[in-house]
Amino acid sequence: MPTGLASYAAQVVPARAQMGSSLGFHIILACMGIAFPAIVMIVHYLGLRRHDDAAMVLARRWSRVMAVLVAVGAVSGTVLSFDMGLLWPGLMGRFGSAIGIPFSFEGIFFLLEAVFTAIYLYGWDRLRPWTHFWTLAPVVVSGILGALSVVAANSWMNQPSGFTLSHGRITSVNPVAVFFNGATYYEVPHMLLAAYMVAGGITATPYAVGLLRGHRDRYTRLGFLVPFVVAAVATPFQIGVGDTAARAIASQQPVKFASMEYVPRTATHVPEWIGGVWFNGHAVAGISLPDVDSLLVGFSPDTKVTGWDTVPPALRPPFPTMIHLCFDFMVGIGTLMLLWGLWLALWWWRRRDLPGGCLGKVFLGGGALSGIATVLAMECGWVVTEVGRQPWVVYGVLLTSRAATTASGVIGTLAATVAIYLVLTVATFAILWVMKRHWDAAATRADVPVPYSPSAKPEVRS
């Protein structure tokens, strides 16, 4: 395998760029695939149990959105599985037998998800209402288990375990230890909760805009409240899991942690940097909280935190500024989501209503931004975990440069990948826009649709 700067620039950089853009695009759809069915299930339940037409209309419309997102997600997921072989044959050829184990379990759940999604999407009006409702349950469960499997594969790259190497070849594998490696227990819940926050934020966004524009009807309020509450409930758990994860990374991948927190030298009384750019060996323009990083890592200012000086420069991740700022951004969005959730909880407790008053618009404005904010926070989290692991693809075992393909033409497929994802993004938004216009037109034709005649009794509560 050729090494050196030229081949690095020609093979590794475009391969990483293509993997990054594929994953960055697919992960948004994956979040919707994992968590959106649960949100749909909640409104569907409300619609059936309370004979709530507004909830029923939401369930129907969201299931159409789900049809589009699930289809695009299925194909972008396939591209990722091809990318694993096309871009990283050095990883798959040597470690496929280990990393493939969680992926093959994911296959089971992907199949179940696809089948029951099809039954749910095309079963409206055909199946008995409650039977139809329950066909979504396997989708929710297999979404969770599928995420568990895929994230277990990623956490194995961070904490490889369960295999013996001899002369660079895997000679024995312990599948359970591969699946439940040292990073599974925090990475999986972190991603699952992120999926619920992202899906909640994205779904709440258009309805927050509707509320801001003065549509205060039950349909719009429910469309905002259900997904936003899902995201808000996930947030405090997410902050707890994230805190645990950061402490685990400090001990498992100390160099990644050092880049996240600007720790150049191993020391005690390490300050916590909020913001700031790493320039010329110093953090510039950030806020430094003395001793706080040591406190967070070991609950005492005397805790020793490992710096990146413990490894030679070639084994340190690139761009500490990007890693650190991404980490800060992710934490910042999580904190804001927590505040917004508490804000909503307070008003609901006192007034049984959305936050109003002079700051009501600020609350809704935040709600309208929650989709893009949670997506960016999640993408930042992936940047931290993936860029922070560099130059390793399998931490401590295999360098990324040794995993990349030797085939020429990655530049071409990278260009095609980026172009296609741009077109797909634009087209997805265009389709959602077309659907929305259609729904608006339907709403002016008749205000009370009949979801399940004749069993449902139209009854609009306010």
Partner 1 sequence: MIADTLAAVIIAVATAYAALAGADFGGGIWDLLAGSAVRGEVPRRRIDQSITPVWESNHVWLIIAVVLLWTGFPTAFAAVFTTLFVPLSVAALGIVLRGTGFAFRPHARTLRWQATTGGVFATASLLTPFFMGTVVGSVVSGRVRGTNGDPVTSWANLTSLLTGGLFVAAGAYLAAVYLAVDSDRDRQPELRRYFTRRALVSGLVTGAMAGATMVQLRTSAPAVFIELTTGRGLALVVISVLAGLAVLVALTLDIVRPVRPLAVLAVAAVVWGWAISQYPYLLPPGLTIAAGAVPRAVQITELVVVGIIVILVAPSFVLLFRLAQSGRLAEAEGPRPGSGPPGGGPPGSDAAATRASRGQAPPRGRHRGQPRSSGRLWPIAVAAVVIAVWRLRRRGTGAR
Among 13, 112, 212, 292, binds partner 1 (CB under 8 A): 112
Calculate the alpha carbon distances from 307 to 173, 257, 262, 342 in Å.
Answer: 33, 8, 8, 36
* Nearer residue to partner 1 within complex by CB, 103 or 348: 103
Assess 2 for contact with partner 1 (CB under 8 A): no
The pair of structure tokens assigned to 334 is 């999580």
The secondary structure of 347-376 as a DSSP string is HHHHHSS---STTHHHHHHHHHHHHHHHHH
Assess 89 for contact with partner 1 (CB under 8 A): yes
Assess 74 for contact with partner 1 (CB under 8 A): yes
Assess 101 for contact with partner 1 (CB under 8 A): yes
Assess 425 for contact with partner 1 (CB under 8 A): no
* Nearer residue to partner 1 within complex by CB, 16 or 60: 60
Question: From the CA atom positions of the chain, what is the Rg in Å?
Answer: 24
Evaluate whether 271 touches 223 at the Cβ level (below 8 Å): no
Distance CA 187, CA 244 (A): 10
Among 10, 13, 118, 418, binds partner 1 (CB under 8 A): 118
Among 233-241, 369-377, 378-386, 449-457, which window interacts with partner 1 (CB under 8 A)?
449-457
Applying the rule CB under 8 A, the residues between 321 and 360 that interact with partner 1 are none
* Nearer residue to partner 1 within complex by CB, 103 or 319: 103
* Nearer residue to partner 1 within complex by CB, 149 or 374: 149
Among 5, 6, 166, 171, binds partner 1 (CB under 8 A): 171
Distance CA 38, CA 200 (A): 10
Among 112-120, 210-218, 316-324, 380-388, which window interacts with partner 1 (CB under 8 A)?
112-120
Applying the rule CB under 8 A, the residues between 386 and 405 that interact with partner 1 are 405
Residue 425 CA neighbour count, 13 Å, CB half: 12
Calculate the alpha carbon distances from 457 to 41, 63, 218, 439 in Å.
Answer: 20, 22, 17, 22
Among 52, 106, 187, 386, binds partner 1 (CB under 8 A): 106
Tell which residue, 125, 114, 25, 1, has the closest CA to residue 400: 1
Assess 422 for contact with partner 1 (CB under 8 A): no
User: What's the closest the beta carbon of residue 178 comes to partner 1, in angstroms?
Assistant: 9
Q: List the beta strands (DSSP E) in 98-245.
A: 163-166, 169-173
Assess 173 for contact with partner 1 (CB under 8 A): yes
Assess 280 for contact with partner 1 (CB under 8 A): no
Assess 431 for contact with partner 1 (CB under 8 A): yes
Among 88-96, 192-200, 290-298, 361-369, which window interacts with partner 1 (CB under 8 A)?
88-96
Q: In the block, which residue shows the tokens 């000679």?
A: 171
Distance CA 45, CA 459 (A): 16
List b or e across 93-118, with b for residues whose CB sees 16 or more CB atoms inside 10 angstroms: ebbbbbbbbbbebbeebbebbeebbe
The pair of structure tokens assigned to 374 is 């949670």
Among 16, 44, 94, 316, binds partner 1 (CB under 8 A): 94
Distance CA 192, CA 235 (A): 11
Q: In the block, which residue shows the tokens 């940047």?
A: 383
Evaluate whether 343 touches 302 at the Cβ level (below 8 Å): no
Length of the chain: 462
Assess 219 for contact with partner 1 (CB under 8 A): no
Assess 413 for contact with partner 1 (CB under 8 A): yes
Assess 454 for contact with partner 1 (CB under 8 A): yes
Rounded to an integer, what is the distance from CA 91 to the centroid of its chain? 24
Beta 277-279 vs 287-289: how paired, if at all? unpaired
* Nearer residue to partner 1 within complex by CB, 113 or 272: 113
Over the window 119 to 148, marking each residue x when it contacts partner 1 by CB under 8 A and - when it does not, the resulting string is x-xxxxxxxxx-x------x----------
Q: In the block, which residue shows the tokens 């339907």?
A: 442
Assess 63 for contact with partner 1 (CB under 8 A): yes
Residue 395 CA neighbour count, 13 Å, CB half: 24
The CA dihedral of 136, 125, 456, 449, to the nearest 10 degrees, is: 110
User: What's the closest the beta carbon of residue 291 comes to partner 1, in angstroms?
Assistant: 47
User: What's the closest the beta carbon of residue 113 comes to partner 1, in angstroms?
Assistant: 9
Assess 451 for contact with partner 1 (CB under 8 A): yes
Among 49, 50, 108, 461, binds partner 1 (CB under 8 A): 108
Among 356, 442, 459, 461, binds partner 1 (CB under 8 A): 442
The pair of structure tokens assigned to 117 is 């999604």
Assess 114 for contact with partner 1 (CB under 8 A): yes
Assess 26 for contact with partner 1 (CB under 8 A): no
Assess 407 for contact with partner 1 (CB under 8 A): yes
User: What's the closest the beta carbon of residue 59 comes to partner 1, in angstroms?
Assistant: 10
Among 36, 110, 228, 273, binds partner 1 (CB under 8 A): 110
Among 2, 85, 240, 396, binds partner 1 (CB under 8 A): 85
